[in-house]
Amino acid sequence: MDFSNESSPIKKPTQRDVRMQGLAASSGIAVGRALRLDEKGRQQIFYVVVSSNQVRSEVRRLRDAITEARAQLEEIRSKLVRELGIEHSYILDSHLMMLEDERFQAELKQEIRARKINAEWAVRAVTDRIVSAYKQVQDSYLRERSTDLEDVAARLINILSGHTKFNPEELNEKVVLVAEDILPSTVAELNFNNVLGFATNSGGLTSHSAIIARALNIPAVVGLHDITLKIKTGDAMVIDGTAGEVILRPTKPLIRDYLEKSEHEAKRPTNSATRVAEPTMTIDGVRIKLRANLELPNEIVSLPLFGAEGIGLYRSEFMFLNRLPNLPDEEEQCLLYSWLAESAGDAGASIRIFDLGGDKLSLQGFEGEANPALGMRAIRLSLRVQEIFKTQLRAIFRANMQGNLRVILPLVTTINELREAKKIIEEVKRDLKNERVKYNPNTKLGVMIEVPAAAMMADLFAHESDYLCVGTNDLIQYILAVDRANESVAHLYQPFHPAVLRTLAHLVRVAEAENKPLEVCGEMASDPVQAIALVGLGVRTLSMVPTSIPLIKNALATIDCSSVRELMTKALKLASADEVQELLSKELPNQAPRLVAALASQS
């Protein structure tokens, strides 16, 4: 880009070298001028009370808007398939599924009829209620799905109001997009040739925007908090998507350095030759299973594309979240779980019992809690509201005729919770048998290790269940007493903290002693160095977002497992996360020289 181009409508920078640190959402370097977008493309909407005679007209407007939104999303989906391949179309599939959800549509219409209001306000009100429920969920991946619903709602409101938002297809100059957030469908609509990168205030590494950016090889940094307040359209900027850094108004020498770096990276070979279908093996022949974390049924098409060996974690609460306050019945759940069983093949699927609080399900007697993370949720709620638990169990047992489905109990803290759950499971089996309903009585039962109490009691849990599954996201938060979403203390969320590593090593020893499988399904599994550390500790099955599997497969193929195990034995004797990171930074390149090249090829 020519920064001296006076004829450009973009203004010259006025300040120099402001550095901002965010989350490295998509690697690579972008050097260009900023185009600042309005906040999420949202516009102000108004509350309008309509007469009884106008209610039918508002419902009709809503119906027409849904039809138009469907057409727009299908067009964007077709473009994604053309540009990126079918494996990324599931992102728009999830938008279409949200839009087409009969209960969502029914709730919108009911909002109009009951409150006699305009369709725009009904969309906003219903969406805000559902998004509020999403944001209370502990699982970060699920929390970020609220962005997808916001995306669908924004499209509906734009259509209803006739508002014309920024059209990314009309970009005729190469720019770096800067926004509070960039909705997934906006990313999908981009003229890929004219967007150098993007930087946002919010967003996470598992957001669909970040996933699409990685697929497009567009450098992106998210979670910058207030970049929109520090930059204006026309300012020069650098995005270092590998380091998660943004530099506003860089000096000319710095621009020159980054342009050279960008050219150097462009010459690196791509990683398109990843052999996803081959089993994952370390250099010394240790077999590692890489499974997928899913919550949308449509994502199941991504399993063979990324080389996943079945589903390590299916977050069933997504089905519930989409239906609040009404819950799917046994038949509907059975149909979905049967599809999972059929699609997952011999490697199978592990279904996590729904992990929500009672207030989110609008259950009678449940109010909002001051601290829902430590409140009535997950297995605690299932044991309290047994009808919901039993319905889900019946559906899973009936769907598991191939014997490849498993059940995981979340947030188990006491052995009594496991025993009570097993008693209910036996009641469900007895009922099915008495009703002469076909079901699988041998469905495997796992326990999620997410709290320190469960980790300390893991030998008992392993003894009384079929396998253990470690959710590192929650386990690390609870061990270190850190809310990683709280920016004041997020730096204390340390996967390499010795207490975390010692806990994981303890869990591996317990599982080996009890001869029970141990799987890790938290975000540690998606980071190459952390995944290597887990393998060094003895973990042999990792589950992650499907798009991370090729990266982890390549990284693990560069290591000698016995050497990494010796390295982690040293790490377990260190006193701080910094010391562990220093050890790994120093030793891993020596022990696995191919690792550096493998990671660099992904950059």
Instruction: Please state which of the ranges 202-211, 307-316, 500-509 shows the lowest mean pLDDT.
Output: 202-211
Kindly provide the residue ranges of all beta strands, DSSP E only, lying in 12-71, ordered along the sequence. 18-21, 23-26, 29-36
Q: Which span out of 92-96, 183-187, 217-221, 495-499 was modeled with the highest average pLDDT?
A: 495-499
**pLDDT band with cut points at 50, 70 and 90 for residue 422:** very high
What pLDDT score was predicted for residue 445?
98
Summarize the confidence of residues 419-441 as an average pLDDT: 97
Tokens of 301: 């098409």
Amino acid in position 582: E
What pLDDT score was predicted for residue 451?
96
Residue 516 has pLDDT above 80, yes or no: yes
In whole angstroms, what separates CA 151 from the centre of its chain? 16
Instruction: Please state which of the ranges 52-56, 161-165, 225-229 shows the lowest mean pLDDT.
Output: 161-165
Single pTM value for the model: 0.63
Tokens of 564: 């990494």
Which DSSP string corresponds to 476-523?
HHHHHT--TT-TTTGGG--TT-HHHHHHHHHHHHHHHHHT--EEE-SG
User: Of the residues 88, 95, 208, 497, which is catalytic?
Assistant: 208
Residue 208 falls in the annotated catalytic set: yes
- Return the number of other C-beta atoms located less than 10 Å from residue 387's C-beta: 8
Choose among 503, 509, 505, 496: nearest CA to 479: 503
8-state DSSP, 347:
G
3-class DSSP assignment, residue 33: strand
Longest CA–CA span in the chain (Å) reads 82
Tokens of 87: 């494996």
Helices 119-135 and 102-115 meet at what angle, rounded to 10?
130
At a CB cut-off of 8 Å and minimum separation 6, what does 54 contact?
none
Which strand (E) or helix (H) includes residue 69? Answer: helix 52-84
Residue 521 falls in the annotated catalytic set: yes
Tokens of 56: 């039918």
3-class DSSP assignment, residue 78: helix
Measured CA to CA, the distance from residue 554 to residue 602 in angstroms comes to 10
3-class DSSP assignment, residue 49: strand
Kindly provide the residue ranges of all beta strands, DSSP E only, lying in 316-459, ordered along the sequence. 349-352, 405-409, 444-449
Please provide the average confidence, as pLDDT, over all residues in the chain.
83
Residue 408 has pLDDT above 70, yes or no: yes
Residue 290 has pLDDT above 70, yes or no: yes
**pLDDT band with cut points at 50, 70 and 90 for residue 593:** low
- Return the number of other C-beta atoms located less than 10 Å from residue 330's C-beta: 14
What pLDDT score was predicted for residue 9?
35
Phi and psi, residue 182, nearest 5°: -120, 115
In contact, 250 and 34? CB cutoff 8 Å: no
User: Of the residues 95, 334, 469, 521, which is catalytic?
Assistant: 521
Tokens of 581: 């990171």
In whole angstroms, what separates CA 504 from the centre of its chain? 23
